[in-house]
Chain A
């Protein structure tokens, strides 16, 4: 996988997704370059999460192509489990394994997928937990952790596999306001270290400060994309102005 520095890590072309009669994604094209932090915003039901979930085929796209590091992940015969190791995913509801402690959560895939022996896997897991500031919680079970800590363990679980790109599906939406900051700080640190990230979120202040590019989606289409300054200060599309002012209203 020798990727040119300017070659996109993620390239989505003509992506469609329908659930029965519901046409959720109606032709999406976008690319993410190495080291970029791309923010996806838009009203609920606009298809943001579905777009993200198509990128590692948690949802099966109805049409279109998706390339990760130059590999067409829709191609017949592609090993999707191999592809998924390169794509970290963080969920709104954390989805930590409740029967394993933090270390177990992070090291499971290292042992089963990367076939590391336990000691080696736990060492790597501890490194990832350290990175999200939770080395001291390695032996704690999810039920013993706060929401913010759980989400950071979930981030560590994805990070430990050293993915080429990380997808965040509303990572702070389920958190109490005072816990949001700790998760965003971890994401800032990841950005600094050069991780490529696609973030679906309503944290507009974070988007302003950290995003390289903002994509606005509505009704299954990308209406506009550009720098945060452009999207937030001078959006061309009236739907974006409407959306942004509705956020400011409360």
Chain B
């Protein structure tokens, strides 16, 4: 019984064979994840800043964009980009489709979170700053944003982790990330041990991030 369990899920021979591929997949996942985090958070922040100017038509557009992307399952967006857009002549690699989809989804959530943070800064902060002759933009950048970002970090960290894990969805459009490598290994070896490796790879990648998120939450608990 025990031997069968080990043979099935922790087959060292199979694991050793597919280890190089898994390492490859690991680093591709890291690349994809970092690219998503960077693009998503930055664009989300820019959208939230634009929104704070309260230009009605522009804000309406942002809200629609954000709500659509929050409503759609990321997998649907990835498949649309990869399988549907070529019909109108737009082609992209699986990596690009996954990166773009997840970045857009993170952008949408990050914008909402940053915007909530900006709104949470008391009106008196704006007034105090403006009363000293600081402009709207100076106040936004020097007074409001530092406070907003601080309020934002815990929810943003959690949301970013959740969306970054979606890099596994890239397996569907042939991105050679962790899950894809694990499934390929399974198909060729008729043994699930590569999946075990895949799970371990995800743990190695995300467990520290989750722990970091927990630390951030306590570190940035705000005292007033």
Q: Using CB atoms and an 8 Å cutoff, list the residues of chain A in contact with chain B.
A: 56, 58, 81-82, 84-85, 87-89, 91, 93, 95-99, 108-109, 112-113, 143, 154, 157-158, 161
Contact = CB atoms under 8 A, between A and B. Distances in A.
B123 to A, nearest CB: 9
B224 interface: yes
A154 B128 contact: yes
A71 to B, nearest CB: 14
Nearest to A83: B133
Given A108-B142, A112-B142, A143-B224, A95 B128 contact: yes
B130 interface: yes
B132 A158 contact: yes
A12 B143 CA distance: 31
A97 B132 contact: no
Nearest to A108: B142
A97 B134 contact: no
A161 B130 CA distance: 13
22 contacts: A58-B127, A81-B134, A82-B133, A84-B130, A84-B132, A89-B127, A89-B128, A91-B124, A91-B128, A95-B122, A95-B125, A97-B128, A97-B129, A99-B147, A108-B129, A109-B134, A112-B134, A112-B142, A113-B132, A113-B134, A157-B132, A161-B133
A87 B131 CA distance: 8
Given A58-B130, A99-B147, A154-B128, A81 B135 contact: yes
A91 B132 CA distance: 12
B138 interface: yes
A58 B132 CA distance: 11
The 8 closest A-B pairs by CB, nearest first: A95-B128, A109-B132, A85-B133, A95-B124, A89-B131, A84-B133, A113-B133, A81-B133
Contacts of A95: 122, 124-125, 127-128
A91 to B, nearest CB: 6
A138 B135 CA distance: 25
B144 to A, nearest CB: 10
A99 B146 contact: yes
Contacts of A56: 131
Given A91-B124, A108-B142, A112-B142, A98 B131 contact: no
A113 B130 CA distance: 10
B219 interface: no
Interface string B114-155: 000000001011011111111100100011001100100000
Nearest to A56: B131
A84 B132 CA distance: 6
A81 B131 CA distance: 8
Contact of A58 (B131, B150, B224): B131
Contacts of A88: 131
B122 to A, nearest CB: 8
Contacts of B128: 89, 91, 95-97, 154, 157
Contacts of A81: 130, 133-135
A166 B130 CA distance: 15
B4 interface: no
A175 to B, nearest CB: 16
Given A58-B127, A85-B133, A95-B128, 12 more contacts: A81-B134, A88-B131, A89-B128, A97-B129, A97-B143, A98-B222, A108-B132, A108-B134, A112-B134, A112-B142, A113-B134, A157-B132
A98 B147 contact: yes
Contacts of A158: 131-132
A72 to B, nearest CB: 18
A168 to B, nearest CB: 12
Nearest to B135: A81
A50 B24 CA distance: 65
B223 interface: yes
B124 to A, nearest CB: 4
Interface in B159-211: none
B219 to A, nearest CB: 14
A99 B145 CA distance: 10
A39 to B, nearest CB: 20
**From B125, B128, B138, B142, residue with most partner A Cβ within 10 Å:** B128
